[in-house]
């Protein structure tokens, strides 16, 4: 984990996210802390990760999400280098 992720402000942000109790609180927090475009970007990256995990091709992912090949490559690289966050969320959501 890089040093930015270990900084106190980031640790505070992580604790803030963990303190949220339901989807509505998460939605309100994301609305307050992020721009609409930032939330859309985060959602797109998660969608790309899930589609990569489901073995879709770059072309299929680009078609479904509108993500650039650069974004798809970046997410794929993260998955190949561990992608523990994507992996945890994917397993929890798909395991429901």
- Is there a single domain that holds both residue 18 and residue 59? no
Domain count of the fold of the chain: 2
- Is there a single domain that holds both residue 20 and residue 58? no
User: Which range of residues forms the domain containing residue 9?
Assistant: 1-33
Say if pTM beats, i.e. exceeds, 0.95: no
Task: Please state at what angle helix 36-53 crosses helix 69-80, rounded to 10 degrees.
Answer: 60
Average of pLDDT values for 21-28? 97
Average of pLDDT values for 57-63? 97
Residue keyed to tokens 């475009």: 37
Average of pLDDT values for 75-81? 95
Pinpoint the alpha helices (H) of the chain. 8-19, 23-33, 36-53, 58-65, 69-80, 84-94
- Is there a single domain that holds both residue 40 and residue 71? yes
**Residue 95's pLDDT is what?**
81
What CATH number did the domain enclosing 67 receive?
Answer: 1.10.1270.10
Q: Using 50, 70 and 90 to split pLDDT, how confident is the model at 52?
A: very high
d(CA 17, CA 39): 14
- Is there a single domain that holds both residue 54 and residue 95? yes
- Is there a single domain that holds both residue 6 and residue 21? yes
């Amino acid at each position: 984990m890089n040093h930015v992720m270990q900084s106190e402000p980031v640790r505070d942000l992580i604790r803030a996210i963990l303190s949220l109790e339901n989807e509505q609180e998460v939605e309100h927090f994301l609305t307050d802390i992020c721009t609409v475009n930032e939330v859309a970007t985060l959602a797109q990256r998660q969608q790309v990760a899930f589609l990569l995990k489901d073995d879709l091709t770059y072309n299929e992912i680009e078609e479904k999400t509108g993500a650039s090949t650069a974004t798809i490559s970046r997410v794929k690289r993260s998955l190949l280098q561990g992608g523990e966050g994507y992996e945890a969320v994917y397993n929890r959501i798909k395991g429901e």
